[in-house]
Amino acid sequence: MFLKILTVVGLASFEIYAAIPAGFAFGLPPWLILASSVVGGLAGVFVAAFLGDRIRRFFNSNKKPTEAKPQTGLIYRIWNKYGIIGLGFLGTMTVGAPISLAVGIGFKAPLQKLVTWCCIGVITRCAVFTIIGYYGLKLL
């Protein structure tokens, strides 16, 4: 049982879409799947935030200053329209927290606010997909 829970936590640290179905396949109760996926997802957020900030600092320390590029394109429009909340919450709900954090670090967003909204997104995403999985299996 412990290895099954640990597997769900490990999968959730990378991708919640794989962790929740794995928990149901292992026969774990829904509350345990939710708790395990939340713990793994939050661990993934903090690891990505810690490593992402260090990687950015490493590359920027060896980089020569260049002229500013014009801020045009779809990503910049979304960033200007929705900001940190859109990137942290909606980005986590769609593509995942590590990618949202990487994009936010690239845009030089405040890391503390971005991590907060990514954590809220992870908790919401785990709850929604666990409920969908539970009731989806009840229909079978």
**Number of folded domains that form the chain:** 1
Q: Is 56 helix (H, G, I), strand (E, B) or coil?
A: helix
- Rounded to whole angstroms, the Cα distance separating 59 from 61 reads 5
Please state, rounded to an integer, the average pLDDT across all residues of the chain: 87
Write out the two tokens for 126: 């785990």
pLDDT at 9: 96
Q: Using one digit for the tens of pLDDT, what is the confidence trace for 39-94?
A: 999 999 999 888 877 777 776 777 666 666 666 666 677 778 888 988 889 888 88
Amino acid of residue 108:
K
Query: Do the beta carbons of residue 88 and residue 100 sit within 8 Å?
Result: yes
Query: pTM score, two decimals?
Result: 0.84
The CA-CA-CA angle for residues 85, 60, 41, to 5°, reads: 40
Q: Using one digit for the tens of pLDDT, what is the confidence trace for 6-44?
A: 999 999 998 888 999 999 999 999 999 999 999 999 999
Query: Do the beta carbons of residue 129 and residue 16 sit within 8 Å?
Result: yes
Which position has the higher pLDDT, 79 or 127?
127
- What's the domain range around 103? 2-64+71-139
pLDDT at 119: 94
Q: Is residue 68 within a helix (H) or strand (E), and if so which, with residue range?
A: none
